[in-house]
Amino acid sequence: MTPERLDIDAALPRMQALASSLWSPRARHHPGQLAWSAAYGEPAALDLGPVFITDGAWAWLESPGWLEVCGADPEAVRAVVDAALGECDGEVRTSTLETEDVVLAVLADVAFVEVESPWFTHHFIDLADLPDVALPEGYAVRAVREGEHEPRSAVHRAAWSATSLVTSAAYERLMATAPYRAATDHVVVTDEGEWVASCCVWLDEATGMALVEPVGCVDPHARRGLATAASVSALTAARELGATTGLVCPRGDDDYPAPALLYRGIGFEPGARTRTYRQRG
Protein backbone atom coordinates (compact mmCIF):
# COMPACT_ATOMS: atom_id res chain seq x y z
CA MET A 1 0.00 0.00 0.00
CA THR A 2 2.37 2.73 -1.21
CA PRO A 3 0.61 6.09 -1.13
CA GLU A 4 0.59 8.31 -4.20
CA ARG A 5 2.12 11.76 -3.75
CA LEU A 6 -0.04 14.43 -5.38
CA ASP A 7 -0.37 18.18 -5.27
CA ILE A 8 -3.51 19.50 -3.61
CA ASP A 9 -5.37 20.38 -6.83
CA ALA A 10 -4.96 16.84 -8.15
CA ALA A 11 -5.78 15.22 -4.81
CA LEU A 12 -8.68 17.41 -3.66
CA PRO A 13 -11.60 15.55 -5.34
CA ARG A 14 -10.35 12.21 -3.98
CA MET A 15 -9.75 13.69 -0.51
CA GLN A 16 -13.28 15.10 -0.51
CA ALA A 17 -14.77 11.80 -1.69
CA LEU A 18 -13.02 9.88 1.09
CA ALA A 19 -13.98 12.44 3.74
CA SER A 20 -17.58 12.27 2.57
CA SER A 21 -17.67 8.47 2.54
CA LEU A 22 -16.23 8.33 6.09
CA TRP A 23 -18.27 11.21 7.43
CA SER A 24 -19.99 10.89 10.82
CA PRO A 25 -20.36 13.27 13.77
CA ARG A 26 -17.14 11.65 15.05
CA ALA A 27 -15.09 12.66 11.97
CA ARG A 28 -13.16 15.87 11.39
CA HIS A 29 -13.23 16.45 7.64
CA HIS A 30 -16.03 17.80 5.45
CA PRO A 31 -15.63 18.29 1.66
CA GLY A 32 -16.47 21.97 1.99
CA GLN A 33 -13.84 22.58 4.66
CA LEU A 34 -11.26 20.96 2.39
CA ALA A 35 -12.35 23.16 -0.53
CA TRP A 36 -12.04 26.27 1.66
CA SER A 37 -8.61 25.23 3.01
CA ALA A 38 -7.36 24.49 -0.52
CA ALA A 39 -8.67 27.64 -2.21
CA TYR A 40 -9.33 30.51 0.22
CA GLY A 41 -6.19 32.29 -0.98
CA GLU A 42 -4.24 32.47 -4.19
CA PRO A 43 -1.95 29.43 -4.65
CA ALA A 44 1.30 31.39 -4.33
CA ALA A 45 0.11 32.93 -1.06
CA LEU A 46 -1.11 29.66 0.46
CA ASP A 47 1.98 27.59 -0.39
CA LEU A 48 0.09 24.32 0.22
CA GLY A 49 2.15 21.14 0.51
CA PRO A 50 1.72 17.66 -0.99
CA VAL A 51 -0.93 15.05 -0.27
CA PHE A 52 -0.13 11.37 0.33
CA ILE A 53 -3.13 9.29 -0.60
CA THR A 54 -4.37 5.71 -0.97
CA ASP A 55 -7.90 4.44 -1.50
CA GLY A 56 -8.40 4.31 2.29
CA ALA A 57 -6.61 7.34 3.72
CA TRP A 58 -4.82 10.59 3.04
CA ALA A 59 -2.35 12.83 4.85
CA TRP A 60 -1.92 16.42 3.69
CA LEU A 61 1.03 18.64 4.57
CA GLU A 62 -1.23 21.65 4.41
CA SER A 63 1.63 23.98 5.32
CA PRO A 64 5.21 23.38 6.41
CA GLY A 65 4.95 21.58 9.74
CA TRP A 66 1.16 21.18 9.69
CA LEU A 67 -0.46 17.84 8.86
CA GLU A 68 -4.11 16.93 8.23
CA VAL A 69 -5.07 13.24 8.30
CA CYS A 70 -8.17 11.34 7.20
CA GLY A 71 -8.92 7.62 7.24
CA ALA A 72 -10.55 4.81 9.17
CA ASP A 73 -8.27 1.89 8.24
CA PRO A 74 -5.26 1.74 10.61
CA GLU A 75 -2.82 0.35 8.01
CA ALA A 76 -3.82 2.89 5.39
CA VAL A 77 -3.60 5.76 7.87
CA ARG A 78 -0.17 4.60 9.05
CA ALA A 79 1.07 4.39 5.44
CA VAL A 80 0.04 7.95 4.54
CA VAL A 81 1.26 9.42 7.84
CA ASP A 82 4.64 7.70 7.42
CA ALA A 83 4.90 8.97 3.85
CA ALA A 84 4.10 12.53 4.92
CA LEU A 85 6.49 12.48 7.89
CA GLY A 86 9.18 11.20 5.53
CA GLU A 87 9.13 14.64 3.90
CA CYS A 88 9.21 16.60 7.14
CA ASP A 89 12.25 18.03 8.73
CA GLY A 90 11.67 19.02 12.35
CA GLU A 91 8.52 19.61 14.35
CA VAL A 92 5.12 18.66 12.91
CA ARG A 93 1.72 19.53 14.37
CA THR A 94 -1.70 18.15 13.59
CA SER A 95 -5.22 18.47 14.88
CA THR A 96 -7.88 15.77 15.07
CA LEU A 97 -11.35 15.45 16.46
CA GLU A 98 -11.14 13.75 19.88
CA THR A 99 -13.39 10.95 18.58
CA GLU A 100 -11.13 9.90 15.66
CA ASP A 101 -9.82 6.74 17.34
CA VAL A 102 -7.93 5.28 14.37
CA VAL A 103 -6.08 8.48 13.52
CA LEU A 104 -5.32 9.09 17.21
CA ALA A 105 -3.86 5.60 17.64
CA VAL A 106 -1.59 6.02 14.60
CA LEU A 107 -0.43 9.45 15.79
CA ALA A 108 0.42 7.98 19.21
CA ASP A 109 2.36 5.15 17.52
CA VAL A 110 4.56 7.65 15.69
CA ALA A 111 5.25 9.70 18.85
CA PHE A 112 2.80 12.59 18.55
CA VAL A 113 1.92 14.05 21.96
CA GLU A 114 -0.91 16.42 22.81
CA VAL A 115 -0.05 20.09 23.25
CA GLU A 116 -1.96 23.13 24.53
CA SER A 117 -3.49 25.02 21.64
CA PRO A 118 -6.67 26.87 20.68
CA TRP A 119 -9.36 24.29 19.97
CA PHE A 120 -12.60 24.04 18.07
CA THR A 121 -15.92 22.38 18.92
CA HIS A 122 -18.02 20.87 16.16
CA HIS A 123 -21.63 22.02 16.45
CA PHE A 124 -24.70 20.50 14.80
CA ILE A 125 -28.28 21.51 14.07
CA ASP A 126 -31.17 19.54 12.62
CA LEU A 127 -32.13 21.86 9.78
CA ALA A 128 -35.79 21.12 10.42
CA ASP A 129 -35.30 23.24 13.56
CA LEU A 130 -33.87 26.34 11.84
CA PRO A 131 -35.45 29.61 12.94
CA ASP A 132 -36.86 32.01 10.34
CA VAL A 133 -34.56 34.66 8.90
CA ALA A 134 -34.93 37.89 10.92
CA LEU A 135 -33.41 41.18 9.75
CA PRO A 136 -33.61 44.73 11.14
CA GLU A 137 -35.03 47.42 8.86
CA GLY A 138 -32.66 48.72 6.21
CA TYR A 139 -31.08 45.38 5.30
CA ALA A 140 -31.79 42.53 2.89
CA VAL A 141 -30.19 39.10 2.56
CA ARG A 142 -29.62 37.28 -0.71
CA ALA A 143 -27.45 34.70 -2.46
CA VAL A 144 -24.22 35.76 -4.16
CA ARG A 145 -24.44 35.77 -7.96
CA GLU A 146 -21.97 34.45 -10.48
CA GLY A 147 -19.26 37.01 -11.19
CA GLU A 148 -19.58 38.73 -7.78
CA HIS A 149 -16.25 37.46 -6.44
CA GLU A 150 -14.90 41.01 -6.01
CA PRO A 151 -17.56 42.39 -3.60
CA ARG A 152 -17.89 38.97 -1.97
CA SER A 153 -14.18 38.79 -1.13
CA ALA A 154 -14.25 42.44 -0.01
CA VAL A 155 -17.03 41.88 2.55
CA HIS A 156 -15.13 38.87 3.90
CA ARG A 157 -11.90 40.88 4.26
CA ALA A 158 -13.72 43.82 5.86
CA ALA A 159 -15.09 41.52 8.58
CA TRP A 160 -11.94 39.48 9.12
CA SER A 161 -8.82 41.55 8.40
CA ALA A 162 -7.44 43.83 5.73
CA THR A 163 -4.48 41.45 5.42
CA SER A 164 -6.70 38.42 4.79
CA LEU A 165 -5.56 36.19 1.93
CA VAL A 166 -9.13 36.11 0.57
CA THR A 167 -8.50 38.27 -2.52
CA SER A 168 -10.88 38.76 -5.40
CA ALA A 169 -8.88 36.35 -7.60
CA ALA A 170 -8.85 33.78 -4.80
CA TYR A 171 -12.62 34.02 -4.35
CA GLU A 172 -13.16 33.62 -8.09
CA ARG A 173 -11.17 30.38 -7.91
CA LEU A 174 -13.01 29.30 -4.74
CA MET A 175 -16.34 29.77 -6.52
CA ALA A 176 -15.13 27.27 -9.14
CA THR A 177 -14.13 24.71 -6.50
CA ALA A 178 -16.64 21.93 -5.76
CA PRO A 179 -18.88 21.75 -3.80
CA TYR A 180 -19.16 25.59 -3.83
CA ARG A 181 -22.59 26.89 -4.86
CA ALA A 182 -23.47 30.58 -5.06
CA ALA A 183 -27.00 29.58 -4.02
CA THR A 184 -25.75 28.77 -0.50
CA ASP A 185 -23.31 31.70 -0.19
CA HIS A 186 -25.36 34.57 1.28
CA VAL A 187 -24.71 38.26 1.93
CA VAL A 188 -26.52 40.96 3.85
CA VAL A 189 -26.75 44.20 1.87
CA THR A 190 -27.92 47.63 3.12
CA ASP A 191 -30.67 49.57 1.37
CA GLU A 192 -27.84 51.74 -0.02
CA GLY A 193 -26.21 48.66 -1.59
CA GLU A 194 -23.31 48.19 0.86
CA TRP A 195 -22.35 44.56 1.55
CA VAL A 196 -22.01 44.18 5.33
CA ALA A 197 -22.29 40.51 6.37
CA SER A 198 -21.79 37.12 4.77
CA CYS A 199 -22.00 33.38 5.30
CA CYS A 200 -20.88 30.61 2.97
CA VAL A 201 -22.50 27.19 3.38
CA TRP A 202 -21.08 24.07 1.73
CA LEU A 203 -23.51 21.25 1.00
CA ASP A 204 -22.21 17.70 0.80
CA GLU A 205 -25.03 16.09 -1.16
CA ALA A 206 -23.93 12.55 -0.28
CA THR A 207 -24.34 13.05 3.48
CA GLY A 208 -26.80 15.95 3.61
CA MET A 209 -24.31 17.84 5.82
CA ALA A 210 -24.25 21.61 5.29
CA LEU A 211 -21.05 23.18 6.64
CA VAL A 212 -20.97 26.86 7.64
CA GLU A 213 -17.55 28.34 6.70
CA PRO A 214 -16.89 31.25 7.04
CA VAL A 215 -19.19 33.91 8.57
CA GLY A 216 -18.48 37.62 8.96
CA CYS A 217 -20.05 41.00 9.71
CA VAL A 218 -18.32 44.38 9.36
CA ASP A 219 -17.83 46.26 12.63
CA PRO A 220 -20.10 49.29 12.15
CA HIS A 221 -23.05 46.91 11.65
CA ALA A 222 -22.17 44.44 14.44
CA ARG A 223 -24.64 43.07 17.01
CA ARG A 224 -27.71 43.67 14.88
CA GLY A 225 -28.22 40.00 14.07
CA LEU A 226 -26.73 40.28 10.58
CA ALA A 227 -24.27 37.37 10.80
CA THR A 228 -27.09 35.32 12.29
CA ALA A 229 -29.39 36.30 9.41
CA ALA A 230 -26.78 35.48 6.74
CA SER A 231 -26.17 32.08 8.37
CA VAL A 232 -29.84 31.18 8.77
CA SER A 233 -30.57 32.31 5.21
CA ALA A 234 -27.70 30.29 3.68
CA LEU A 235 -28.61 27.21 5.75
CA THR A 236 -32.25 27.55 4.69
CA ALA A 237 -31.12 27.57 1.05
CA ALA A 238 -29.02 24.45 1.71
CA ARG A 239 -32.08 22.77 3.26
CA GLU A 240 -34.06 23.56 0.13
CA LEU A 241 -31.31 21.78 -1.83
CA GLY A 242 -31.57 18.65 0.34
CA ALA A 243 -29.36 19.33 3.37
CA THR A 244 -30.61 17.77 6.59
CA THR A 245 -27.98 18.76 9.19
CA GLY A 246 -25.93 21.91 9.71
CA LEU A 247 -22.33 21.78 10.91
CA VAL A 248 -20.09 24.57 12.15
CA CYS A 249 -16.74 24.43 13.97
CA PRO A 250 -16.13 27.55 16.10
CA ARG A 251 -13.43 28.02 18.72
CA GLY A 252 -14.25 26.14 21.91
CA ASP A 253 -11.63 27.66 24.22
CA ASP A 254 -12.34 30.82 26.20
CA ASP A 255 -10.16 33.18 24.14
CA TYR A 256 -12.69 33.79 21.34
CA PRO A 257 -16.22 32.83 22.45
CA ALA A 258 -18.33 35.11 20.18
CA PRO A 259 -18.79 32.76 17.18
CA ALA A 260 -19.90 29.81 19.33
CA LEU A 261 -22.41 32.10 21.07
CA LEU A 262 -23.69 33.21 17.68
CA TYR A 263 -24.21 29.63 16.43
CA ARG A 264 -25.75 28.45 19.70
CA GLY A 265 -28.14 31.37 19.37
CA ILE A 266 -29.32 29.86 16.07
CA GLY A 267 -29.84 26.48 17.74
CA PHE A 268 -26.55 24.65 17.03
CA GLU A 269 -25.52 22.22 19.77
CA PRO A 270 -21.95 21.21 20.65
CA GLY A 271 -20.45 17.83 19.73
CA ALA A 272 -16.84 16.63 19.78
CA ARG A 273 -13.85 19.00 20.06
CA THR A 274 -10.47 19.10 18.36
CA ARG A 275 -7.15 18.36 20.03
CA THR A 276 -3.70 19.34 18.78
CA TYR A 277 -0.64 17.07 18.74
CA ARG A 278 3.06 17.61 18.09
CA GLN A 279 5.85 15.35 16.90
CA ARG A 280 9.38 16.65 17.26
CA GLY A 281 10.70 14.99 14.11
Q: For binding to ligand COA (CB under 6 A), which residues are involved?
A: 159-160, 197, 214-217, 222-228, 250, 258-259, 261-262, 265
Cα-Cα-Cα-Cα dihedral sign, residues 240, 246, 249, 254 = positive
- How many CA atoms lie less than 13 Å away from 235 in the CB half-sphere? 32
The CB-of-220 to ligand COA minimum distance in angstroms stands at 10
For ligand COA, the closer CB: 27 or 200: 200
**Inter-residue contact 29 to 68 (CB < 8 Å):** yes
- Residues forming a β-bridge with 277: 94, 114
For ligand COA, the closer CB: 128 or 261: 261
Task: Give me the helix-helix angle, 31-39 and 8-21, nearest 10°.
Answer: 160
The CB-of-164 to ligand COA minimum distance in angstroms stands at 10
Q: Nearest Cα to 103, choosing from 141, 60, 151?
A: 60
For ligand COA, the closer CB: 4 or 194: 194
For ligand COA, the closer CB: 56 or 259: 259
The CB-of-32 to ligand COA minimum distance in angstroms stands at 13
The CB-of-124 to ligand COA minimum distance in angstroms stands at 16
The CB-of-233 to ligand COA minimum distance in angstroms stands at 12
For ligand COA, the closer CB: 64 or 257: 257
The CB-of-207 to ligand COA minimum distance in angstroms stands at 21
For ligand COA, the closer CB: 65 or 214: 214
